A and B are shown apart, each in its own frame.
Chain A
Amino acid sequence: MARYETIDRLFWFAASLGFAAALLLIWEGAVHAGLVRPLFFPAPSRIWAALVHGVVDGSMLSDTVVTVSRTLGGWLAASLVGAALGALIGLSRRANAYLGSTLEALRPLPPASLVPIFVAVFGYSEQMVMAIIAFGALWPCLLSTVSGFRAVEPRLYEVARVLGMGRPSVLFRIALPSALPEIFAGMRVGLTVSLILVVVGEMLGSRPGLGLSILLAQRSFQSPDLFAGIAVLGLIGFLTATLLNAVESRLLFWR
């Protein structure tokens, strides 16, 4: 059984790679045949060359490092705050009464619409970019954590009462592990949001990084560089999500 599943998965993986390769080939051919304008859609070979050039001269690497650290920093901060606040609201009726409506009012605001406020407070600074990321990535984690803590099986709380478990013990041995799958689900969405917002933030705040490089490449009609930057962003998204999945299946082995 397991072997057939593995073969099946390998087959579909190979098929999806083949499809992507075919798309790239068609694209390459279309550019050479003059069907699309290279100014908008440069040939994949040109994009690859730009990517290699960027890696060799170091600019792509330093941009990537800066952007990735911003993304992860903002995301981790947002996740920590979101999980802590979410736990508080999910567990305490009083905290929910005090904070609930404020958070409901803040939640639907698109993070980008708050950029002027962040600019006013932080200027066109690193903190401004971080604030945008953290604000945007906070909500998925917060909301999901709240629902995770609210959904703890009431029977388990009764088990804890019968055993006379103390509050910290109930929190760390029962509530937190119960809520962990939902916390992770929120963090996963938060990571995607962070990656979107880091690009937005770098563009708006003119902070060096992949986002700004893409913007500058576009302004100077360097479309191969533009696409190379986009490709790297896609790769970052893919790798971070894969990494998170690996950590999650480790931590939630019992599911």
Chain B
Amino acid sequence: MKPLQTRAAARETAPPTPLISFRRIDLSYGDRRILEDINLDIGEGEFVSVVGPSGCGKTTLLRLIAGLARPTAGDVILDGQPVAAPSRKVAVVFQDYSKALLPWRTAAGNIALALSAMGVPKAEWPDRISALLATVGLAGDGDKLPRQMSGGMQQRLQIARCLAQEPRVLLMDEPFGALDAMTRQSLQDEVLRIASTRSVTVFFVTHELEEAIYLGDRVVGLYANPGRVAQCFDVGLAKPRDQLSTREDPHFLSLRHELFSFIKQA
């Protein structure tokens, strides 16, 4: 770890070194080219939303950062090192939360899975677990089994388990796609709050353009067949964001307009 001062000093002279960097990434499955010449830098603490037509390779891009997929050519650099395998620094919130939780463990037990993998001493588990449950709004639900929880609660639990990893990077793959509008909005705000209080870098895949703008510091739009970075939109809306006023902000609306026409031609 560099001392804080050096970092701050470096920032004045040169752009900060990115935490995540896609360098000339190609990825093919058999003869099919899925991703082509992806070049993308993501700064520490940045919230990047990724949008693009279905099947354009959003999930694949996310899996590259997680170390769950390997590129055919090029490197994904994380914190100065090429990604070769999954690491606990990077947590993944999977789209299908019901498949990503252990159905035989309670909410507390599912979080304990991560704490145990992290080597946290058992004596600290109860406090850590209740703090994490409270963070995601599940205080008092520790004894529930996943099947006793709604979809929104299960996704909250998956987020809590990811936070137990104390990750520097949080990868989220259409995490709220299956949830109703109300639940979705409250989870959006919680993710924003968590991301800013923990200064974690977020890579957020979604097919909802408004969600992408509402959450992101930057929205990356992808083309399909093969997947390429088409355009990056700097969001630049004030933080903290607000479900009502942010969404009514003229800048929000013009971004939304821009993004819609981009998606239509993509």
Contacts and interface: CB of A to CB of B under 8 A. Distances in A.
Contacts of B67: 161
B252 interface: no
Interface in B157-184: 165
A153 interface: yes
B68 A162 contact: yes
A136 to B, nearest CB: 31
Contacts of A165: 117
Contacts of B92: 158-159, 162
A173 to B, nearest CB: 7
A169 B100 CA distance: 16
A164 interface: yes
B117 A164 contact: yes
A158 B68 CA distance: 8
B122 interface: no
A254 interface: yes
A254 B147 contact: yes
B40 interface: no
The 9 closest A-B pairs by CB, nearest first: A163-B117, A254-B104, A155-B99, A161-B86, A162-B86, A177-B104, A165-B117, A153-B99, A155-B100
Contacts, number: 53
Given A155-B96, A158-B94, A163-B165, A177 B102 contact: yes
A117 interface: no
A156 interface: yes
Interface string B203-230: 0000000000000000000000000000
A159 B99 CA distance: 10
Contact of B113 (A155, A158, A173): A173
B34 to A, nearest CB: 18
Interface residues of B, number: 26
Interface in A85-130: none
A252 B145 CA distance: 12
Contacts of B100: 155-156, 158-159
B54 interface: no
B101 to A, nearest CB: 8
Nearest to B118: A163
A76 interface: no
A162 B91 contact: yes
A174 interface: yes
Given A158-B68, A164-B117, A174 B102 contact: yes
Interface in B75-121: 85-88, 90-92, 94, 96, 99-100, 102-105, 113-114, 116-118
Given A155-B96, A155-B99, A162 B90 contact: yes
A162 B99 contact: no
